[in-house]
Amino acid sequence: MSTDKLSLVFATNNSHKLEEARRIIGDAFDIVSLADIGCDDDIPEDAPTLEGNAIAKARWIKQRYGYDCFADDTGLEVDALGGLPGVRTARYAGDAHDSGANMRLLLQNLKGCSNRKACFRTAVALILDDKEYCFEGRVDGLIAQQPEGSEGFGYDPVFVPDDFPSSFATLSPDVKNSISHRGRALAAMLDFLNSYLKKTENNA
Q: Could you tell me which of 146, 54, 139 has the C-alpha nearest to residue 104? A: 146
Contact 30, 5 (CB under 8 A): yes
Contact 22, 31 (CB under 8 A): yes
Residue 117 and residue 111: Cα distance in Å, rounded? 14
Candidate list 36, 41, 42, 73, residue with the active-site label: 73
Residue 91 and residue 164: Cα distance in Å, rounded? 27
Contact 158, 140 (CB under 8 A): no
Q: Could you tell me which of 196, 193, 183, 191 has the C-alpha nearest to residue 72? A: 183
Q: What are the E-state strand segments in the chain?
A: 7-10, 30-32, 69-78, 85-86, 117-128, 131-143, 159-161
- For the chain, the straight-line distance linking the first and the last C-alpha, in angstroms and rounded, comes to 22
Residue 62 and residue 91: Cα distance in Å, rounded? 25
**Residue 156 is a catalytic residue:** no
Active site (catalytic) residues: 73
